[in-house]
Amino acid sequence: MFPMTLWVKRLLLANVAAFLVTGAVPGLYRLLILYPPAILSRPWTLVSYMFLHAGIGHLVFNMIGLFFFGPRLEDRLGARGFLWLYFLSGLGGAVFSFIFARQYPVVGASGAVYGILLGFALIWPREKIYIWGILPVEAWLLAALLVGGSLYAGITGSQSGTAHFAHLGGLAFGFAYLKWRERRQGAAVRTFQKAQKPTTSGGSERVVKARWKGISVDGLHEINREEVVRLLSKVEADGASALTESERDFLDRMAAR
């Protein structure tokens, strides 16, 4: 099992503490519960509802999901990325509840935990998860079953009392955040890689060509000397953009000698 991480531990403790405190102070529970029609007058409930649970079974189910799937995901995403996923998924649960089932009060970390499970399934889709410790199910299939089950139950109204649309909201917002993050990181990598390559326009190319032409071929080994001459001829004829990455690297190494 993956070692416990800092924010998973803190979230587990916060949920358990909130369950104990609100159980001892019923008025506090009512103050923190999410009731969609009252969101504007009680905006804090968009977050506070994630730490409330309808009973010990509800709490245990959500905390088991956080305990098993959270640490590995926090390690992969980092603390900030993990918290963004957790709370945005929880917020998605509140938004979907407001849109599709606004007449019902909502409590529970299910939306946030479903977002965590989805993140796990997207990163490690073939990882086997043992239901009740016996039945092996790949992570992607478990996530698909949860989506399908919540969608069916939400539309048909089966299992009243369960916030199925909050589950769907957690999955939707979690998916959107992870895809945005993936795209943003991909763009950052491409920008970095582009910055490492000499440009092939304007003065930049002239600077690069001047540096390569300054290579002293007299002191090079015969094989390297022939390669430098060949590549410089290629640059002169077709420009620096005609070189491959490895050819550029070779000329840069020779220029740095």
Catalytic residue annotation = 110, 167
Task: State the residue for tokens 């698909």.
Answer: 144
Phi then psi for 42, rounded to 5 degrees?
-135, 60
Find out whether 8 and 70 touch, Cβ atoms under 8 Å.
yes
Find out whether 137 and 131 touch, Cβ atoms under 8 Å.
yes
Helix axes 56-100, 6-24, angle to 10 degrees: 90
Find out whether 70 and 85 touch, Cβ atoms under 8 Å.
no
Q: Please give the radius of gyration of the chain, using alpha carbons only, rounded to the nearest integer.
A: 28
Q: Which of 51, 31, 50, 49 is nearest to 41 (CA)?
A: 31
| Terminal Cα-to-Cα distance of the chain (whole angstroms) | 50
Q: Which of 241, 92, 238 is nearest to 175 (CA)?
A: 92
Q: Which of 172, 165, 43 is nearest to 108 (CA)?
A: 165
Find out whether 59 and 14 touch, Cβ atoms under 8 Å.
no
**Sign for the pseudo-dihedral over CA of 98, 100, 103, 109:** negative
Q: Which of 150, 155, 162 is nearest to 115 (CA)?
A: 150
